Copies of this chain bind each other. A is one copy, B any other.
Amino acid sequence: MDSTSAKPSQTLFAPVRTKRAFEEVCNEIKRLIFRGVLKPGDKLPSEIDLATQFSVSRQTVREALRLLEITGFISMQKGGTGGPLIVDTILNTIGNSYLDAFQMKKITIDELTTARVEIEKMILKAVFRDSQDIDVQCLEENVAQAKSLVERKTDAFRENIHFHLLLAMASKNYVFVIVMESILTVVADIRSRLGFDLDVSVEAVRDHEKIVEAIKGKDHQGALSILERHLVENGKLLREFLKRYEGEEESSSSRVGVFPLRVV
């Protein structure tokens, strides 16, 4: 592996450009976001302007923007006043990667449920330690809102999912929020394919209400056992549904068969 000729020194000099151009452009923009120079809501220059400013081609800029888009830093807006817009949807990105990972690693519903039970119980303990009144108020508001929805025979599944995220937020530890958001993305993906089911929503709201009351009453064991039963029941529901569902479709990932495909 030692070069006796052409390549002079592999140790003295490092290659001038190790990364690809679009990666450098991507990192430059990322740095400005991390520094706070660019904040969510700000607009980036158009592709053409970026290309001239970075002195690269438009294709290179586009690939850089593609990276930023998929990693949750920007979103593209079409039309006259459009352009790349700074956003912050990194949590969505992580959630989507979880969906991919669950498919690739063939994780089962039961595995997900078991982990979810343990993780949410852990978070609930943290809530008992570190939450403040305002956090419990948020939970109460969520329950009230979901309650009014089901009373009007409307689906409250978004609100019910959100309850668990609010629980994580009440722990005052954002790491828990990230973990919870990721798991909820998977749960929501399965649940959304289940369709509208009022009974499920009603049951969930009732459980959530009990949990909030137990938290307010500082009833640790009560809250924990209600939460555990709630999650286990929910897991059974998802499993039963998937048993009926499997075979019909080959799982998620938007299906669009418009292109003639022949790979390798």
Q: Which residues of A approach B to under 8 Å, CB–CB?
A: 17, 19, 22, 24-25, 27-35, 37-38, 42-45, 53-56, 59, 62-63, 66-67, 70-73, 88, 90-91, 93-94, 96-98, 100-101, 103-105, 107, 111-112, 114-116, 118-119, 122, 125-126, 173-176, 178-179, 182-183, 250-251, 253-264
Contacts and interface: CB of A to CB of B under 8 A. Distances in A.
Copies of chain A in the complex:
2
A257 B35 CA distance: 14
Given A43-B264, A98-B178, A105-B178, 8 more contacts: A28-B259, A31-B250, A31-B255, A34-B103, A35-B250, A53-B259, A63-B66, A111-B175
Interface of chain A, helix or strand or loop or mixed?
Answer: helix
A228 to B, nearest CB: 14
18 contacts: A24-B256, A27-B254, A28-B257, A30-B253, A34-B104, A34-B251, A38-B264, A44-B264, A45-B264, A53-B262, A53-B263, A66-B70, A90-B101, A94-B97, A94-B98, A111-B175, A118-B122, A179-B182
